Amino acid sequence: MYIKTTWVDGENKYSITDQAGNVIPGFEDVKLLYTGTSGTPISATNLNKIETELSLLESDIAQEAIDRDVAVSQEITDRENAVAQEVIDRNAAIDALKTETIVWELLATKTFSVDTSYFIFASIPAGYSAFRIVGEVVGSDSTERGIAMSFNGDTSAANYKYANVVNGVYTANNTANGIYIDTKSDSTDITVIDIFIPNSGTRASCSATHRGEGHIGDTSGHWYDNALKTDIRLSLGSFDAASKLKLFGCKSIL
């Protein structure tokens, strides 16, 4: 800590003495005349200016240190608060996922009473972000044993593509009838199907699983059109009378 000194001007008096140290009469109080170049006088006023600036400088340095410590402390606090808020937001998002309820609404049911080559889920209501078709399929046609799925009456070969993996064997192609789901249905084998169809207006892909006697299959398909789906057509060589399908819709899954 700097200790300030207060300077005070003194009164200088001079006298002239002889060799013995006695003041010569008439020279008891004399004034010295300086004939050199005048500079800045060393005075109490000038010295006290220096003292004042030194004391103020020390005060400024101390205040800067205080301000810096306050700023660092505030930055640490802000970072801690930001991290804490991130944790709160992440936990809230996790809790929201835990409590989110996905509801599949039954939109239509088709139970085949006679052998039928195709069926259309028509006039599907709007407002659903995804559809799901589940059911049991029995087919009697020996040549066409898979299901072709198309949307909104579109049967253009260029607008569909699919791939199947059945019992570990991969096949891929496109067809004028739509996305081909290789269920390998026949009159002695009931195939269980589960088809997921996004309907967000930006996702045109879909997927399906199908299981039957000696049959494990998965299908992925794509419709090159982002239009919302208003009807879904399913065709097979023959849906036997024992077949049944249900269409569900969900408004919140995507």
What's the rounded Cα separation, in Å, for the pair 58 and 40?
26
pLDDT recorded at residue 24: 76
What's the rounded Cα separation, in Å, for the pair 221 and 181?
9
Question: Domain extents for the chain?
Answer: 1-100, 105-250
Run of H or E residues at 246: strand 244-250
Provide the CATH topology of domain 105-250: Jelly Rolls (2.60.120)
Cβ 188 vs Cβ 161: under 8 Å: no
Q: Which residues pair with 219 in a beta bridge?
A: 164, 208
Q: Which residues pair with 52 in a beta bridge?
A: none
pLDDT tens per residue, range 169-190: 998 887 768 999 988 766 566 7
What's the rounded Cα separation, in Å, for the pair 92 and 104?
25
Q: Which of 236, 224, 223, 231 is nearest to 247 (CA)?
A: 231
Residues of the chain with pLDDT under 50: none
pLDDT recorded at residue 1: 66
Q: Tell me how crowded residue 47 is: count the other CB atoms within 10 A of its CB.
A: 15
pLDDT recorded at residue 185: 63
pLDDT recorded at residue 204: 79
